[in-house]
Amino acid sequence: MTDVSAPAASSSPGDSPPAVLEAIGLTKRFGALLANDHVSLAIRAGETHALLGENGAGKSTLVKMMCGLIQADSGELRFDGTPVTFPDPAASRARGVGVVFQHFALFDALTVVENVALGLPAHESLPALAARIEACVHRYGLAVEPYRRVGQLSVGERQRVEIVRCLLGDPRVLILDEPTSVLTPDESENLFRTVDLLTAEGRAVLFISHKLDEVRRLCQRATVLRGGKFIAEVDPRRESAASLARLMVGAEVPRTPRTVTHELGEPRLLVRNLTLKGDGSRGSALHDIELEIRAGEIVGIAGVAGNGQTALFEALSGERLGGDPEAIVINRVPAGALGPTERRALKAGFVPEERLGHAAAPDMRLSDNVLLTTHGDGRIVRHGIVSQSALHARFAEIVKRFDVRFGGRDPKARRLSGGNLQKFVIGREVLREPVLLVVDQPTWGVDAAAAAFIRTTLRSRAAEGCAVLVISQDLDELLEFTDRIAVMSEGRLTRPVPVEETSREAIGLAMGGALAPAPEDADAA
Amino acid sequence: MPLKLERQENVPLAGLVAAPFVALAVTLVVGTVMFAVMGRDPVEAFRIYFVDPLSDAYTLQELVVKAGPLLLIGIGLAFCYRANRWNIGAEGQYVAGALAGSWLALATHGTEAGPWVLPAMLVLGALGGAAYGLIPALLRVRFGASEILTSLMLVYVAQLGLDYLVRGPWRDPAGFNFPQSVSFDAVATMPLLLGEGRLHAGIVIGLIAVAAATFVLGRTLVGFSIELGGSAPRAAAFAGFHEKRVTYGVFAVSGALAGLAGIIEVAGPIGNLQPSISPGYGFTAIIAAMLGRLHPVGILVASLVLALTYIGGEAAQISLRMPFDVTRVFQGTLLFAILAADVLVRYRIRRVEGTRHA
């Protein structure tokens, strides 16, 4: 393991294959933020190189500089050992650098082959192009049908379209930006096989991720960034997940205790036959959702994004109403026909996935954002009048107890970092002392320390007798701190099973659509 | 060289406060150029336009009389605009309120009706304006129609309705065929505040509205729900506020205040119904609302400034023989400048690096 003091060797001795694309001392500053501070990285032929770092560590900035999307303030890029500049992405593409970004640039209304054609400079007949796509698909095991409309494809399929599009340009370097964040474990495994084929041909792959197990499985080298600085270049196969995490975070990451030391109480949330029609624009339909959560337990819902989790959250929070009052029972009261305020009055709390614009109003002050979910509690708002003193007292309490950090006295919500805003949003609910807490993506885009704090907070709420429902795409997180896990796929929910009785593989299968994450066992709850 | 507007992460409060003043300064510069182009001495023109009206007791009263309707309408519009509902039809709601209130004045004309008539007229005016304002709200909620278009088009409907009534059923039979109603009785007329001049009790109602709106918008849950609905609709739904109710509510308040302004104007300085009962108050109040930062106290100040453009415009018509359109140009320039200043405060202009495409 190389240390901070020794920067990445640019021309390494002996057994290392030659670097194809190399960044040397790249520095980029955005205003007061030093996004990349003399970062060096060499992607070598035939290797899969991991770029590891937390959100905000500077991974995206580095990648954007390496493909010409933004220009470095200082430092240089080398391609095959000779200095190059990429004034724009087209220049890097011409040299053989392909990038698959997290957010796809595909047109839903067009077919796969039409989308691919749009990105190519030369004019080629669609059938000829389709044939080339078929060949590529065959060679690398990417299941893509050229004549299907992109709008009908799953997220995993769209990603494969993007990869095919890159590969048609015969790149020598392929950069994959957090490719597995949208994939099921099974789909990820297929992607890894494709990557292995690519490197076997001598291509270089840069694999950006914060999932340590994947990196250890797939990559021969890993560069770790933290706070915009190069921290280390290591061989991930010789590291443990814990040692990699330490490098990323710079400190020991506490694990959330998951010992259930308390008795489970009465049911706080009962969902029976909850069915919602899809509303076209967003949110898939829900089919016959059945769920029971009792006081004192944390139930997790796993699943790939876009399988109805948002619809389920909005159905539970009361933002989307179904017809049947009995479909949702909160704290023994039929709540299916109640709005969000009435459901909160039953001592339920909700934390949506999207912080800015859903959980908080971005352009309103943080203290005003306290009102969003507390206005019906009868403490801060009385007879329709907002008590400024009560509001600011609550605001100060949230900030203090949940360690919310920000500049200024009372900034707009927009100005907080993801982790701090999430701590605020969670703290806002916890201080309402709910007996049911529904949290969608509790730690999405949150740094490791804040994520650990949030998980511990939810755990201790459960210990105090709150029923907690956590919807997350992060399977590791769910396995770490929930008691039972259900899986959501295409609007259907499996029966929750105790974490001890299930496995990643079983859950992965269910995420792909196979029902029941574990063999049927006797009454688990 | 392509330019790009980039949202400023950190909008300086000082900038937001300064923007209206910068806009005023820009308007004055544009005005100077305009006067010069028209062959008038700019200094002389400015004196007549902006200084003289402030140095005379009568015109000072007139200033307040003109500011009154702008103030009431502007406050109502602030409710709408804070909720991100763009009511452009206050002029129509003003006319609708004037018609609703005048109906009672005409119905009781020549009878022995007591002092209840005027208060009842004001209530009817507010109700009429609110009902008219609810039409675009209904169209938006039920059919998703743009309230900008529907509210604006309803202005012309209201104006034509007024025109029909004063030329037809409500025309004064003894009025030598002039298209106007009978003059309102004393019990149907706004009381004057001073012995002489035209200053009437309307401004008192305006000041009450300032206080009430400041309280409602700044201190109550209703005000918060309006602000939140305009700022982040999805967060408002999550908070449990009903978007439809907010839409109906702000249009009703906005329409009621515009209608109230309309009946006060007819029962006050005008004294009867005529084909033209407004020099575009409903539109000018949009400028007052924006210039006043959608805050009731700010709108009070902005209304006085805009009233000055009316008075100055009248004076310039007489002594400089300048067309009344100059006032419109001033008001338009001011709106343009305030909107531009807002954009420049909230966004920053950046040159986009030369982007050669693939």
Give per-residue burial for A186-222: e unless 16+ CB within 10 Å, then b: bbbebbbebbeebbeeebbbbbbbbbbebbbebbbbb
Q: Which residues contact A449 (CB under 8 A, 6 or more apart)?
A: A249, A251, A253, A419
Q: What is the pLDDT of residue B352?
A: 61
Beta-sheet pairing, A19-30 with A74-79: antiparallel
Task: Check A361 against B228: CB less than 8 A apart.
Answer: yes
Residues of B within 8 A of A87 (CB-CB) are 356
The pLDDT-based confidence of A396 (bands split at 50, 70, 90) is: very high
Residue-level pLDDT at B240? 95
More confident residue, B14 or A367: A367
Alpha helical stretches, state H, B47-173: 57-82, 90-107, 117-143, 147-167
* Contact criterion met (CB < 8 Å) for A373 and B237: no
End-to-end Cα separation, chain B, in angstroms: 18
Residue A522, pLDDT score? 39
Asked if A384 is an interface residue toward chain B (Cβ–Cβ < 8 A), one would say yes
CA–CA dist B94, B259 (Å, integer): 4
- Mean local confidence (pLDDT), B129-150: 96
| Band of residue A512 on the pLDDT scale cut at 50, 70, 90 | low
A7-11, A43-47, A177-181: which has the highest mean pLDDT?
A: A43-47
Most confident of A126-140, A181-195, A401-415, B233-247: B233-247
A278-326: per-residue pLDDT in tens? Answer: 654 444 688 899 999 999 999 999 987 778 888 899 999 999 988 789 9
Cβ count within 10 A of residue A51: 30
> In 3-state terms, chain B is what percent helix, strand and coil (to 5)?
70, 5, 25
- Give counts: helices (H), strands (E), chain B: 13, 2
The predicted pLDDT at position A328 comes to: 95
Residue by residue, DSSP assigns A283-346 as: ---EEEEEEEEETT-EEEEE--TTSSHHHHHHHHHTSS--S-GGGEEETTEE-TT--HHHHHHT
Q: Which residue of A has its CA nearest to B239?
A: A372
Give B11-60 pLDDT, tens digit per residue.
777 888 888 888 889 988 998 898 888 888 888 888 888 888 888 888 89
Kind and range of the H or E element at A196? helix A185-200
Residue A143 phi/psi, 5° resolution? -80, 100
Residues of B in contact with A386 (CB under 8 A): 219-221, 224
Average pLDDT, chain A: 85
Beta carbons within 10 angstroms of residue A107's beta carbon: 12
The pLDDT-based confidence of A408 (bands split at 50, 70, 90) is confident
* Higher-pLDDT residue of A32, A189: A189
Per-residue pLDDT at A156? 79
- Cβ contact, residue pair A90, B221, below 8 Å: no
Report residue B324: phi and psi, to 5°. Answer: -65, -20
Is residue A439 within 8 A of residue A468, CB to CB? The reply is yes
How far apart are the CA of A218 and the nearest CA of chain B, in angstroms? 32
Residue A7 has a pLDDT of 42
Structural domains in chain A, CATH included, are: 46-69+87-249 (3.40.50.300), 267-511 (3.40.50.300)
Spell out a b/e string for B5-39, using b for 16 or more CB atoms within 10 Å of the CB, else e. Answer: eeeeeebeeeeeeebbebbbebbbebbeebbeeee
Q: Write out pLDDT tens, residues B73-85.
A: 999 999 999 999 9
Residue A204's Cβ-side half-sphere holds a number of Cα atoms within 13 Å equal to 22
A372 with B228: Cβ contact below 8 A: yes
CATH of B41-300, one of 3.90.1690, 3.40.1010, 2.40.50, 1.10.3470: 1.10.3470
Helices A185-200 and A126-140: crossing angle in degrees, nearest 10, is: 100
In this predicted structure, what is the pLDDT of residue A521?
41
Closest residue, chain B, to A415 (C-alpha): B9
CB A489 within 8 A of CB A512: yes
Query: Helices B243-265 and B221-231 meet at what angle, rounded to 10?
Result: 110
Q: Which two tokens stand for residue A37?
A: 């501070």
Specify the length of chain B in residues.
358
How far apart (Å, rounded) are the C-alpha atoms in residues A197 and A180? 17
Per the listing, tokens 């109603």 go with B181
Q: Name the 3-class secondary structure at A6.
A: coil
Mean pLDDT of chain B: 91
**Whole-angstrom Cα distance, residue A375 to residue A395?**
13
Only one residue has tokens 């990451």, namely: A253
Q: How many CB atoms lie within 10 A of CB A259?
A: 7
Q: Which amino acid is at A415?
A: R
Q: Is the pLDDT of residue B226 over 90?
A: yes
B220 contact residues in A (CB cutoff 8 A): 384-386
pLDDT value for B234? 94
- Tens-digit pLDDT profile for residues B238-293: 999 999 999 999 999 999 999 999 999 999 999 999 999 999 999 999 999 998 98
The average pLDDT across A100-128 equals 82
Render pLDDT for B98-127 as a digit per residue (tens, 0 to 9). Answer: 999 999 999 999 898 889 999 999 999 999
B240's torsion region: left (phi>0), alpha (psi -120 to 50) or beta?
left
DSSP A455: H
Residue A427 burial (CB < 10 Å; 0-12/13-18/19+)?
buried
Shortest distance between the Cα of A214 and any Cα of chain B, in A, equals 34
B87: left (phi over 0), alpha (psi -120 to 50) or beta: beta
Residue count (chain A): 525
Q: Residue A517: which pLDDT band, with cuts at 50, 70 and 90?
A: very low
**Does the CB of B219 have a partner CB in chain A at under 8 Å?**
yes
Cβ distance A358 to B234 less than 8 Å, yes or no, reads yes
Categorize the per-residue pLDDT at A447 as very low, low, confident or very high, splitting at 50, 70 and 90: confident
Angstroms from B71 CA to nearest CA on chain A: 25
List Cβ neighbours of A473 (8 Å cut-off, separation of 6 or more): A181, A302, A303, A304, A305, A441, A444
Q: Look-up: residue for tokens 């956590």?
A: A470
Please report the pLDDT score of residue A223 as a whole number: 92
Distance CA A134, CA A126 (A): 12
Of B9, B231, B238, the CB nearest to A317: B238
Nearest CB to A361; choose among B9, B235, B353: B235
Between CA A92 and CA A59 the distance in angstroms is: 18
Phi-psi region of A178 (alpha: psi -120 to 50; beta: other; left: phi over 0): left
| Percent of chain A scoring above 90 in pLDDT | 42
Give the pLDDT score at A3: 44
pLDDT of res. A14 = 47
pLDDT tens sequence across A451-496: 889 999 999 999 899 999 999 988 888 888 899 999 988 888 999 9
ipTM: 0.84
CA distances from B287 to A267, B24, B138, B303 (A): 56, 12, 25, 9
Tell me if B221 and A371 make a contact (CB, 8 A cut-off). yes
Greater confidence (A87 vs A447) lies with A87
| pLDDT above 50 (res B356) | no
pLDDT of residue A254: 58
SS3 for A119? coil
User: What residue spans of A330-413 are helical by DSSP H?
Assistant: 340-345, 366-374, 388-401
CA distance B79 to A386: 18
The answer, yes or no, to whether residue A35 has pLDDT greater than 70, is: yes
Beta pairing class for A173-177 and A204-209: parallel
Q: Find where tokens 């901070």 sit.
A: A4
pLDDT in tens, A197-219: 999 999 999 998 877 788 888 89
pLDDT tens-digit map of A247-256: 877 765 555 5
The pLDDT confidence band at residue A262, using thresholds 50, 70 and 90, is low
pLDDT at position A217 is: 87
- Is B107 near chain A, with CB under 8 Å? no
Residue B193 to residues A228, B53, B64, B184, Cα–Cα distance (Å): 69, 20, 12, 18
Tokens 């990417």 found at: A142
The reported pLDDT for the residue numbered A449 is 79
Put simply, whether B348 touches A (Cβ < 8 Å) is: no
**Any A CB within 8 A of B352 CB:** no
Q: Nearest CA of chain B to the CA of A117: how many Å? A: 12
Gap between the Cα atoms of A71 and B217, Å rounded: 47
CA distance B291 to chain A (A): 20
Residue A50: phi and psi, rounded to 5, are -95, 140
**In terms of CA atoms, which chain A residue is nearest residue B227?**
A364
- pLDDT at residue A272, as a whole number: 93
C-alpha A355/C-alpha A418 separation (Å) is 8
Chain B residues in contact with A388 (beta carbon < 8 A): 219
Yes or no: say if A368 and A420 are a contact pair by the CB < 8 Å rule. Answer: no
CB contact under 8 A, A385 and B228: no
Beta bridge partners of A468: A298, A437
- Residue A357 with chain B: CB contacts under 8 Å: 232, 234-235
Residue A112 C-alpha, separation from nearest chain B C-alpha, in angstroms: 19
Is the CB of A357 less than 8 angstroms away from the CB of B357? Answer: no
Q: What is the pLDDT of residue A251?
A: 65
Residues B221, A384: C-beta atoms closer than 8 Å: yes
**Residue A314: both structure tokens together:** 């909005």
Q: Which of A143-157, A213-227, B342-356 has the highest mean pLDDT?
A: A213-227
